Structure 1
Amino acid sequence: MVIAMAARTSILISVAVLLTLAACTVQAHHASSSCKRKLHCGPSKFIFYTHNTVYNPSVDNREYFNSIYSSPPNVSFANPFGFGIVNTFEDPITVGPSNNSRLLGKAQGFYVLNSFTEYTLFHLFTANVTEGKYQGTIDIFGQIREAEPVRYLTVVGGTGAFLGARGLATCTRVEFDSTPPAKWTLSFDLKLYY
């Protein structure tokens, strides 16, 4: 009789625990369903152009530069590819390849020359888009070989209209002028997902 009562009590406790767990699961599912928010999805394709002018004291362009190189590292061996040189920039972003195109914002970041054998650059920057239909930031990074006509970087995040963006940034040099101060224009064709 004692064993039968213990078995009955054990079954009742088990049933009570299962019913409690089932009720909690239903309640949690209902709470999470009612609190779900749909994330804003930005554009799947976004194109912009950056315009870079390097500071050069020999032509005194302090009024209109947006990029500056650090000094080369103090090493006692030949460094033909500028290993360790850092360039910090704040380039205007436009809708077209011309400097006079409509302004979208600024690209702010840096790149480091990081190879002893060729011009290879590690880029890290944020495109701050403050004008136009889509506004927010796009974070881009990766390593490129300067010799390649088309370069690929990674989109690793964003805010605003680009919240949570991931994807591919295809970078192409549109124009380059090495006459001091050096100037160039790059196009960025972004394929984004959220």
Structure 2
Amino acid sequence: MMLARIIFCAAVLLATLAVILLALVSPVPERKPLQPWLDLSLYIQQPHIASSNAHQSVAQSDPGAFIFHRKLTEGPENTSRVVGKAQGFIIPMEDFAQSAFNIIYLTFHTPEYSGSLSVQAKHVSRKDTEELTVMGGTGSFAFARGLAVFAQTDQQSSGVESTYHVKLQLRFPNQSRTTVG
């Protein structure tokens, strides 16, 4: 009985030492240092609706709400590389001033960035340029804060909405302000 206890204690001690040694001598994976600031320039593309489906719309808009699901691309052309999507549900300020639904989600799927950003859209006034607040993010954009400037790139007379240019100026918490060279 005493020998079994000694063997058990020795096994526990060896297992504990092995865990501690592995934690101390294991190589740390190389990680690219994050920069404290990130500027991105993207475009929200409007859907192209075939003439036979002209009565159907991807976005629904009325005086009460605006719901949308769009492609997010690198360039202003509809044929530019798709880097993600932009989705949102906005109730205009005059109808529902403190709506928690007034959020635009920008989701990224690229080799460089994977994750999403939440942009608060409480003060949308239907101008050609809007400055909105980035409230947070996930993945590559975890805990991001900053500014999102939405600007219409062109006006179309056929009733079709224009493409939006989105400039993101992001900062990340707990990062030093020095740039690693």
Query: Map of 1:1-194 to 2, 5 A cutoff?
Result: 41=34, 44-53=38-47, 60-61=53-54, 65-69=57-61, 72=62, 82=63, 85-115=64-94, 123-142=102-121, 143-147=123-127, 149-180=128-159, 182-194=160-172
Bigger CA radius of gyration: 1
| Runs of 5+ consecutive residues of structure 2 not aligned to the other structure | 1-30, 96-100, 173-181
Query: 2:55, 2:87 → 1: CA distance?
Result: 18
More helix by share: 1
Shift in Å, 1:177: 2.0
Mapped contact 1:53–1:66 kept (Cα < 8 A): yes
Specify the code of the residue in structure 2 equivalent to 1:174: T
| Runs of 5+ consecutive residues of structure 1 not aligned to the other structure | 1-37, 73-81, 117-121
| Count of matched residue positions in the alignment of Structure 1 and Structure 2 | 134
Query: 1:62, 1:137 → 2: CA distance?
Result: 31
Specify the code of the residue in structure 1 equivalent to 2:109: T
Q: TM-score, normalised to structure 1's length?
A: 0.59
More strand by share: 1
Query: 2:54, 2:108 → 1: CA distance?
Result: 26
Deviations 1:147-167 (A, max 9, x none): 3x3210000011111111000
Mapped contact 2:65–2:91 kept (Cα < 8 A): yes
User: Identity of paired residues, percent?
Assistant: 26
Query: 1:165, 1:129 → 2: CA distance?
Result: 14
Q: TM-score, normalised to structure 2's length?
A: 0.63
C-alpha distance 155-53 of structure 1, shift in aligned 2 (>3 A)? same
C-alpha distance 131-62 of structure 1, shift in aligned 2 (>3 A)? farther
Specify the code of the residue in structure 1 equivalent to 2:169: K
Shift in Å, 1:184: 1.5
Shift in Å, 1:112: 1.8
